[in-house]
Amino acid sequence: MELKRVVVTGLGAVTPVGNNPEETWNNLINGVSGAAPITLFDASKFKTQFACEVKGLNFNEYIDRKEARKMDRYAQLAFVSAIQAVKDCGMDLETVDRNRIGVIYGVGIGGIKTFEDEVKYYGINEENGPKFNPFFIPKMIADIAAGQISIHFGFHGPNYTTTSACASSTHALADAFNLIRLGKADAIVAGGAEAAICACGVGGFNAMHALSTRNDDPEHASRPFSASRDGFIMGEGAGCLILEELEHAKARGAKIYAEMVGEGASADAYHITASHPEGLGACLVMERALEDAGLKPEDIDYINVHGTSTPVGDISEVKAIQKVFGDAAYKLNISSTKSMTGHLLGAAGAVEAMATVLAVKNDIIPPTINHEEGDNDEQMDYNLNFTFNKAQKREVRAALSNTFGFGGHNACVIFKKYAE
């Protein structure tokens, strides 16, 4: 069968550097850091006391107060990003077939703050017997964001969540892409969300020695590809892309940001948290995405890398890029937007895919910030263009976005300029 073409017609984002896609993009290309001391809980006794929080968002503009009380923060963020994206795509919900519109949202952890709060409350009251909020379970479970979004819009198409740690929302995009090109849906609201900046989240990652402890200088703590990197910075937020079958989009006169042309998935099959030191799984996922897209390495102009600012992860990803792209690796731009947003865990893939789409649309590469002269890792090939510290204008015909998750889960998506 002939596969259908899939395009991006709407964007939504709530991130540590902006409460909508436009604000997020402007701050990304201007190299603005979202890191600051934690305000969501008292982190004064934690090894890490800073994070990349969503700031100044008025949830009441998007969510009824009564409904908001039934949602964990991660679901609230997801809901806002989806409302933004659906509005942006300009779809008339009274005329489209909502039976053929789906919702797929990736979540790495889910309602961890709800779980934390309920367990604390139960402990205080256990003398009087168990007492839990009746919304405890539906607030906590990872699939509920997708459910809340479909309920709000009346979308009856495929509806579920993908959970593969930090690769979750990239897998959501890949699933949506495949369902649409197989003709099983006309459009899918696809994205991811996470809100794990709480005692359990920060404490748990601290125990693994995964987080930066640069408490005296949060804004410069996320420094992918620099020798002085000491771990990732916890972030929160949500990203959403409206993926739509091309003819369906054209029939309603939709604006088109870019075309999604390929996806890849692989496993490191190596370690529960560490990436394969030689980037084996990363090589496979990029090769599969290129093959799926029908593109050669030299067709790619930009890679939005996983680039978490961890000592081992950054090196293995660079090795994989060099193996897959060969000489072409030195002609493309590489950047890690996590240097600004922090690591959004299950939301990372969707937010970074949005940045990748906008790089294709606007021919601008967002930078990797916080690299200082002389702060060079001897294992890193600095002949590659990491787009350090300053955005770069160049033609972006096609771009690739990588996300890798604990458990060895790897996902990759490719976007290119739309042309008839």
Residues marked active site are found at 166, 306, 343
Crossing angle for the helix pair 348-362 and 168-181, nearest 10 degrees?
60
The answer to whether 273 touches 374, Cβ cutoff 8 Å, is no
Nearest to 102 by CA among 150, 163, 172: 150
Residue tagged 């991660």 (tokens): 74
E strands, 215-287, in order: 237-245, 258-267
Task: Look up residue 76 and give its DSSP letter.
Answer: H
E strands, 31-178, in order: 35-37, 50-52, 101-106, 159-162
Nearest to 102 by CA among 149, 157, 154, 60: 157
CA distances from 212 to 75, 79, 207, 357 (A): 26, 30, 12, 29
Task: Look up residue 189 and give its DSSP letter.
Answer: E
Nearest to 287 by CA among 335, 330, 321, 327: 321
The Cα 278–Cα 313 span in angstroms is 10
The Cα 304–Cα 298 span in angstroms is 16
Q: Which residues contact 285 (CB under 8 A, 6 or more apart)?
A: 264, 265, 266, 402, 410, 411, 412
The answer to whether 270 touches 408, Cβ cutoff 8 Å, is yes
